[in-house]
Amino acid sequence: MPLTKQPRPIVIIGAGPAGMAAALSLHAVGLKPVLLERYSEARPAGNILNLWPPPIKALREMGVDTTDLGAPCRTTFRNVHGHIRADIQIPAEVVQEYGGGFIGLLRPELYRRMLAAMPPGVLRTDQRVAGIVDHGNGVRVDLADGTNIEAAVVLGADGIDSMVRTSLWGASERREHKLHIIGGYTFDDVPGLERNEVVLTHSRQVQGTYSSIRDKGRDGVQWWVLEAWNPAAPAPDDLQAHALNLARQFPGPLAGLVGATGKGQIQRWPIRDRKPLKAWSKGRITLAGDAAHATSPYAAYGAGMSIGDGYVLAQCLTGVDLDDTAAVTGALLRYDQRRIAHTTSQVQQAYVLGKAFHHAPAALRPIRDFLLDHTPLLQRQVGEKSPGEIVAQLHEMGTGLARSV
């Protein structure tokens, strides 16, 4: 009896949102993904999260239950007096179709839903990848335990410090934004709360924001404060006291929300990214998520873009003969072409916003704020252009995963 040749898998390194989305999407189009995670589980680093419509569309297509995943929110940028500087304009039909223009949720719930959709045997935990070797008609994936896997394609979804990115494109500096963010969430009701809103307020030097969330059927609120911070300086000793001190300068319920949050629900992150790459793919290896486009939380879109990467990668690899190196390389180049411009523009915009709001020289801050309060500058850039790009993504994603490209 002739032996049936087993297809070589597509090996995905890293089970964050990028890796999980790629595994689910590739499986959905009939390919064979293997998802390797160095830790004993796919675990979220952090809690607060908002998602735009493109990742919701992608999640649905890859079989993730998005019913009541988060609280639908409208987003406004405001000044400290409550004046609206920019209203993020997501068309009503998109809001209706995707359950909100921007939804607020907790990150562990996203992981739980993605893992619930994962076919058995795809995710392999305690598998730290030590190296990869593209030998032309395949890629050898070397694990830290000394074993290896022969892959048809490798996807580096291994986060901001990606080993795969470094091995493809060389080492690059982390770009320190000299900012940090302190955030948390609570299910307490606080007076003055505007429900189903992301209220994003800037004072001269600090951003203070809150967003409705839903988590397992409960309504709550997540919040964050963001300010300039020397990355070499230690973190504040008492995160809650520090956040409360910053939150008091904002109108509305922000300080009350910070005060109502349990210490265990408060976290801090220094903000950094890496300069966007001009190419992601080389031979049979490519990148997704923060490995490809680490993004400041100013965009609130890093995880969203990571999910979109997996979806588009599966579209590009659908119907491709994985034994044909030229066909694989061509498919990965198409993937680059569809993802790099959009993600680069979001990374750069997030970087520039952080600089403009938190690193403007003191003398320029009143002029900046005058312009933001009295001209349509922020409305045009953040209120219209940026959501326009996000909505254009919905069209670019096509009618489903099986779209041929």
Return the number of the residue (43 or 385) whose C-beta is nearest ligand FAD.
Answer: 43
Single residue of 24, 37, 47, 134 touching ligand FAD by CB under 6 A: 37
Question: By C-beta, is 43 or 83 nearer to ligand FAD?
Answer: 43
Would you count residue 11 as binding ligand FAD (CB under 6 A)? Answer: no
Scanning residues 266 to 295, which ones bind ligand FAD (CB under 6 A)?
269, 289-291, 295
Q: Is 304 an interacting residue with respect to ligand FAD (CB under 6 A)?
A: yes
The residue (of 202 and 320) whose beta carbon lies closer to ligand FAD is 202
Minimum gap (Å) between residue 115 Cβ and ligand FAD: 12
Query: Which of 61, 109, 134, 158 touches ligand FAD by CB under 6 A?
Result: 158
Tokens of 200: 């994003």
Q: How many residues bind ligand FAD (CB under 6 A)?
A: 36
Question: What angle in degrees, to the nearest 10, is found between the helix axes of 107-117 and 17-28?
Answer: 30
Task: Say if CB 309 and CB 288 are below 8 A apart.
Answer: yes
Q: Which is nearer to ligand FAD, 34 or 49 (CB)?
A: 49
**Contacts to ligand FAD from residues 111-150, by CB under 6 A:** 128-129
Choose between 320 and 391: whose C-beta lies nearer to ligand FAD.
391
- Of 183 and 383, the one with the shorter C-beta distance to ligand FAD is 183
Question: Where do we find the tokens 């030097």?
Answer: 205
CB under 6 A: which stretch of 33-41, 92-100, 328-336, 339-347 binds ligand FAD? 33-41
Nearest to 129 by CA among 256, 43, 34, 198: 34
Q: Does residue number 181 form part of the binding site for ligand FAD (CB under 6 A)? A: yes
Instruction: Kindly indicate which of the ranges 12-20, 166-174, 350-358, 370-378 contains the residues binding ligand FAD, using the contact rule CB under 6 A.
Output: 12-20
Smallest gap from residue 132 Cβ to ligand FAD (A)? 10
Of 30-38, 146-154, 195-203, 311-319, which segment contacts ligand FAD by CB under 6 A? 30-38
174 lines the binding site for ligand FAD (CB under 6 A)? no
Interaction residues for ligand FAD, span 185-244 (CB under 6 A) = none
Residues 318 and 29: beta-carbon distance below 8 Å: yes
Residues within window 49-88 making contact with ligand FAD, judged by CB under 6 A: 49-51
Q: Can residue 38 be called a binding residue for ligand FAD (CB under 6 A)?
A: yes
| CA–CA separation, 281 and 156 (whole Å) | 10
Binding site for ligand FAD (CB under 6 A): 13-19, 36-39, 46, 48-51, 128-129, 157-159, 163, 181, 183, 269, 289-291, 295, 297, 300-304, 306
